[in-house]
Structure 1
């Protein structure tokens, strides 16, 4: 997977998380500063635990 930083039509920044085949897996919120998007990407890369699990609220 890889991240792509883009600029929106209102000059804010957001990023996409894409799979190796180019499919979008996730899209971020928008950020006023490109550095904010970059910091969030770095945080995700450093802090995602391989043991992270999913809670399906429909099954609660």
Structure 2
């Protein structure tokens, strides 16, 4: 899995998470700064809290 940071047409930044076979797993929201996108990537890489909840909207 890897992350790629991109710049949106509105000048903001977002990232895409891709699997090892290059398929898109997720696309983030947009961030005003590249730093914010990078910090979110670091949070994801460091793991998500086990107490996180899942809300099924189906």
For the superposition of Structure 1 and Structure 2, which TM-score range results when normalised by the shorter chain?
A: 0.7 to 0.9
Structure 1 pair 11–57 and aligned structure 2 pair: CA distance change class (3 A) = closer
* Structure with greater helix share of residues: 1
Structure 1 pair 43–21 and aligned structure 2 pair: CA distance change class (3 A) = same
The structure with more radius of gyration:
1
What's the Cα RMSD here? Answer: 2.0
Cα-to-partner distance string for 1:26-49 (whole Å, 9 max, x where unaligned): 000000100000000000111236
TM-score (norm 2): 0.82
In the alignment, structure 1 segments of 5+ residues that lack a partner are: none
Aligned partner of 2:26 in structure 1 is 26
CA distance in 1, matches of 2:31, 2:17: 15
The aligned length equals 57
Aligned partner of 1:39 in structure 2 is 39
TM-score (norm 1): 0.79
